[in-house]
Structure 1
Amino acid sequence: MGSIVSYTVQLITCISLLLFSGVMYGQSLKQPELQFSAPCVSASFNEFHVNFAWDPPMVYSDNKFILELSDKDGSFANPRELVAYGDKNTIFKFEFIFAFPTDLYGTNYKVRVRSTNPQKISPESNAFPAYYLTVNQPLVINNFVGTIASCDGSPVTISVNNYPNQPAYRWYRNGTYLASQTQSSITTAQAGIYYVELDYGTYCSSATLSNAVELINGQSSGISINGSNSIEVCEGQSHFLAASIDDPNISYKWFRNNQAVTTSGYRPRFDINTVDNAEGTWHLEIQRGGGCIERSGNVTVQYKSINASLQSQSGTILLPGDEITLEASTNATQPIYSWYRNDVLISNATEKTYTTSQPGNYFAKIKETSGCTLEIATARINIEIPTAISVSIGKRSDYLSCESISTEISLSTVTATLSNGSEIDVYNTLVNRFSYQWYRNTVVMTNATTTSLVLDGPEDNGIYKIKATLNDLNIYSNEEDIKLGLSSDLTLTSIGALSCDGSTSVKISSNITDPNFTYQWYVDGQIMDSENSPYVETNESGTFKLEVNGYGCSLISENLTVSPLNADVVQVDAGEFITINEGIYRTITAAGADNYAWYRAETLELISSDPYLTVSEEGQYILKASVNGCEITKTFTVEYLERFAIPNVITPNADGYNDKWILPNSYANNDNVEVSIFTLTGERVIQTYNYQNDWPQNNIPVVNSGSKPIYFYKITKDNNVLRKGTITVID
């Protein structure tokens, strides 16, 4: 009995030691064992198992074992909980059953187990790929069309139709994985068999494998439309356009003006007249297997047509006894002509020309007998017998009566008046059929039988008209009164000069001297009693002009003035006032007179009879010059040049020096020199002739600033300014 009790105590002690030892050294969490290799998760399949084992000692009763999932790169920085068990705390080996999240997409996921009490983390599981299949059915590419063509090496695009917005795709050509192609479409010109699947890793993608599409290389066939690129066809008659290639495996489509007129199909020939209007630009498109479309060049189609015109070389006005020939022109190859007058067929008129002497409304019909059957009518020509014919003449447009010195008159219009009163211009038709005769002042002119006359002088002035004659028909034109000017210019010139005693005269001459003209002279606006002559002589002064008349026109000259003797005929090389330096000589020379006499003005002493005079002294001198018996007098004043300048500063301080404004002798004490002084504001202080060098006479006013004022001065003679400047007043 004692031994049994002792064994029991020992057993309890051992268990206690074991439990204590577990608490001290901790549990051991084993590496999770995956019960899958590459989970392909979907909404219909999402249950997976992981085996887990751990070693004692025991965990606390509130402990939980949590299965955690890493990110797609195997990192547990932010682990996600897959499932947690709180009832496995006494089970050392058990199985986690869980579902993966729906955003699973990667190749390096891991799981681990974490306990909460005590806090332990197991080793990480082996890495595994895992994908949640949002698409779990085959992809569709190229809308199930099994063949696509690269036309002439141009790239084509193959696209996913039903799921185009997934994260990544895996494309294959001839079974080879194209690692660089991860989009929902691929653009390529390389031939081969293409298919695609969603990129759900190596093991999960096959469920989305698409249909296969074969890419073939389509080459140009060089399609064209047989024949010329510009053709004419008969409207309403069949005409076929034919393709240069006839192949039942090709689809044909015909176009007019870039609009399809047929559907696609086997149609290598097409009758273009089966459409409402075949005229236009045609082309053909063909399509081989794979979808390559090839276009032909253009063919321009026109309906064959003919044109026709009708003309009359001799006009449309039928004069008595005349015939008019009408001629039809056409581009028809084998034409047949029919002529009509007033819409009635003319018998036996089947040639291209028709001659008639009857008025009426004419046209021709032309029928093409080669190829297409075509008929066209020409325009109509109305042939009439006029009730009257008139002609008129006219002057050149720049003609001005009695101003133009030449002009031309000519036949300007030939007009026919029809039975309805209307008038038509028939100049071009009849001008060369008439003969002509000109008349001047109702007299037949010799050798004047053309349609125009050139008139080049006033002797041709007169009233003109023309007569036009055709057979027994004489037609007179209107009259034109032509007056050409006598000359382009009338000028007067004079010779000679008037004398004081009337013993000489002036001869005035005209540049126009034609004896057939009449001449009337005027002086000061009054008619002169003179002969009918282009010349006149006068010993009187006045304003003269001449009027010349001839052939109905006149000219009036500009005025010519004859003046009495002018003192300016005597020229002197010095002015009225002459300034010299004292002791210096100056020679004054005159010209233009017959005789000269020089005098001193004070004594009237004759001092020279030469054309010149030499002076060295101040004073007045007189020249008396004789010209044509007339005496001309000129006076000169000689003065010495001043030896000191006009002062511009005075000091009126009563010290006896520079108290007054002193001018040189030539300006002071001179009755002909005016002296004026002004303030700065323009107020006149003095204005006087014969200045006495006595300014200022009173005190000079002081301005507000306390300084003496500044004055302006001006010295004039005979309204000419001799000197001007300023005067500054200083104490």
Structure 2
Amino acid sequence: MKKSSSTYGILVLAMAMMLLGTSTMVAQVLNKPIAADNPNLAGNSAWTAACASANFNEYFVNFTWSPPLVDPSNEFILELSDAYGNFGSPRELARLADKNTVFDFEFEFALPNDIRGEGYKFRVRSTSPAKTSPASDAYPMYFIDYNLPLLISQNGSGTIPAGGLIQICDGGSVTLKPHNIPNAGTYLYNWYRSGTLLPQKTESITVSTPGMYYVELDYGSICSGSANTLSNTIEINNGTSMGIAINGDSNVQLCPGDPYTLEASITGIGLTYTWYKDGSVVSGPTLEGSTFAVNTGITGFEGSYEVEISGASACTERSSAVVLTGAGSFEVSRQNDENIVLLPSQTKTLSVSTTASSPSYQWYKDGSPIASATTSSLVINAIGEYYAEVTENGGGCSSGPKNSEITTVVSPDSFELVIEFIGAYADCDNTDATISLAAVKAVSDTGAKTDVTSDLESSFAYQWKLDGAAIIGETSKTITVSNHEKNGAYKLDGTLDGFNAVSNTLNVKLSPNSNLNISANGTVLCEGGEAITLTSSQSLANETFEWVKDGQIVDTSSESYTVNEIGVYQLIIRTSDCPITSNELTIRAFDESLLVLDKPKDLIIIEGETGTITASGADSYEWFDANNNLIGTQDSYGFQEEGQYLLVANFGSCTVSRVITVAYRDMFAIPNVITANGDGINDLWILPNTYSRDQNVLVTIFNERGEQVFSQTAYENNWPQSTMAFNKPSMIFYYKISRGGKALKQGTITVIK
């Protein structure tokens, strides 16, 4: 609706719209989608849960919408929420471009193969105009990618006990786990004990309570049963402990290569044995496997060993641990860097450490022993490959010598520097950037590179360069750039003892530290209203810029932009290396429902009191009386007089008008019986103040033959003036109360004499 200079014209138009029931704008209504039956399956009904699989994955939802027609280029898109009904990152299921004149149709879709949850919702989005429907009801939806019966066993070992029975000792427990499903950790599970659903949803379950245990994959309240994953049953019973143990000492020291066998304390009664090292199975379960030979000839045989027994004659029980340690083993560790760069006239010290109790040392260079190099450290001044050989000369076990790791010492042919950004950096996102030396590498004549940062980074002299030119005063290992005018290619040069090192190049593109804002003379677009103009907070002269609507360029030459479509608008200046992007302005379509009144527009008040109506949603308000006089400009107005009033609400250049009718509430009814007997009680016909003593109100009384017997404006509650006119004990009269020729009240008066 266009704002008019004539308030009277607005009043007339608003009243006409009320009488005709018209609106200034009608928009499409997108209804929420609902599950629909599959037309390809005879006798099918609408689905209540989607239980899809590789063998069946065909579903339909019904969608309806109301005109006016969408644009010819429009597409309707069916979107799916996450498993909790949230649309933060919706997934597109289907897209239709041929339904722009069809108001009731079905989307067909297939369920993605990673869908598992109880609370998925749908919605439909149109692209032109851009609208979104309400979300659908929540539906359980699962893609059943595994639908074979599970097999469970103790610890998922794959061995199902005879008769499915496992006995556990009092206070003991057993872990049940499926052993035939790939990617088992990606699923949720329903574990049961004797038919009761347990709270655990994990791949394995540790139990100590007797009962019948089985499991299925959790595909939700509806789909789990149809997936056919219910497992075998394991019966857990309590038994009596037999006191299983490992014979011998609980701590045993062994020399490398010495044979050693662990032996269970209970044997020969048909038991199954499982041997553990550091909690992991190393042997079994094996029937009658009551011994375990430890291979002490391999590195890492040391550890904590246990044995577990099970069988028809025993409950499942695990022994205490026996700890095996190596008596003659020792370690040798290099105490310097793996690669060392040796400059001319420099020396370096190499060293090793060992756990041997009585070690002797021999250093080697390039595979040959170095004379007199028999201590734990060695001072070198030549390039080559160095290591130390350590021999254990004490203890009860014989042991061969062990070599340390090799240290490679090189003489550099050149050096190179590596620079990196410190912290997060992205072109045109940052307003400052810090670059620092990350590594110093020595380069041999063969091109091999050795990291020598810790040795030499403090020895170099540095100079930063921008686009090949030295930056005055920037001679440290780190530089901070905080001005977009200093954008360019940065490098670091270094010098040391005649060596000139050059770094890699890092290009810096900082965003101008500028706040670009756009504003508008309104944000609501209505037909016939004033044009909405977007303007920039800074001059666009000599700038390269783009006005953008919904991400698409709409103008590149106008310093201000006139809006003729709803959408989200921005201004982008591209003169610098990095674009400057303004705030977003959303221009929305005009909708009369934006104006909200807190009370009905037909207001009833008590005479002498004030009735207030408060409006909200608009930019400004104007209140007019019946004579078109402006009586208020706030969002609320207090009414004290009867009559018709006009509210004009302004939304930018658009307006909404509402006619307010104010009437008095009758505090008491018009009497229909009087007793004209002269006793001073109820002798006169008394009207409420609403109708008495008002020059604009006419009171007329007729007798039973329709003859006028009384007529008075500004009625003074003075009828009848005499009782002599009543010649019967009871007479009936008719009254009519009018204002300006319009009847307000009418009825009968019974006069009793």
TM (norm. structure 2) is 0.33
Q: Which has the larger radius of gyration?
A: 1
TM (norm. structure 1) is 0.34
